[in-house]
Amino acid sequence: MKRFSSKVAIVTGGGSGIGKEVAQRLVAEGASVVISGRDAAKLEKAAAQIDPTGKHVRFLAADIAKPATAQALVELARAEFGGVDILINNAGVFNPKPFLELDEQEYDGFVDIILKGKFFMAQAAAKAMQQRGGGAIVQTGSLWALQAIGATPSAAYSAANAGVHALTRNLAIELASSNIRINTVAPAVVETPVYSTFMDSEQVKAVLPTFNAFHPLGRNGQPGDVAEAILFMASEQASWITGTVLPVDGGVTAGRI
């Protein structure tokens, strides 16, 4: 039997990178998924790749920073697939910038998308999960919330993700009696399209390989590396794990080479 047979999952930030990889693997293992992001064309293309039959995937283009988006995603999952069992709270944004140069609008962007977005998405999903007798939430946090990296100054991004990590522990306690587990993965450098949001393709090709050596295992992460950890946390194999933040980082948090 497939690990996620007849399960219904919402995957935020599901149009590319880690989110898309997770959605694809969930469908392959028997789940139906609703993916979200801000770009409808990108989501439509991703949905066709995730499930060419179209039977087990739906998408919604909207701003995750708005609590109404979380509610709309839950309602779509209910209407199309009957409810919500799993939330992959993955949507985020990354753009290194020195602390002394960051303005209020940029700060708000990090906090709204990363922390506020995950907070209200988890809230909406948890209410739906209570009606199904429980569920699992897995969030994407960040290594940058566990330690500061001088090469990529990210004070606001890191602070927002530290909030996500704290949210994980608080919700684990509050939702345990509803049989809802919540865990977070904290990746290091993963080669996803997020880097193209602040570098052109030539810069990405030049810069990303320089981070291979930053990881004790000698390479940057791939979406599949993080997706496997997320799927484990979402599955019944992790039924006695809640409130954890798992570094998926090629050994970075262990120490320096």
Alpha-carbon separation of residue 237 from 233, 240, 253 (angstroms): 8, 8, 25
Q: Which of 157, 195, 211, 214 is catalytic?
A: 157
DSSP structure string for 143-168: GGGTS--TTS--HHHHHHHHHHHHHH
- The label of the residue with tokens 């699992």 reads 136
* 157 annotated active-site: yes
3-state secondary structure of 251: coil
CB 242 within 8 A of CB 212: no
Q: What single DSSP character describes residue 66?
A: S
Tally of CA atoms within 13 A in the half-sphere of 26 that contains its CB:
32
Give the integer Cα–Cα distance in Å for 212 and 55: 39
How many C-beta neighbours within 10 Å does residue 247 have?
A: 19
Cα–Cα distance between 135 and 228 in angstroms, integer? 18
User: Please, what is the end-to-end C-alpha distance for the chain in angstroms?
Assistant: 42
Q: What letter represents residue 173's amino acid?
A: I
Q: Give catalytic residues, as residue numbers.
A: 157
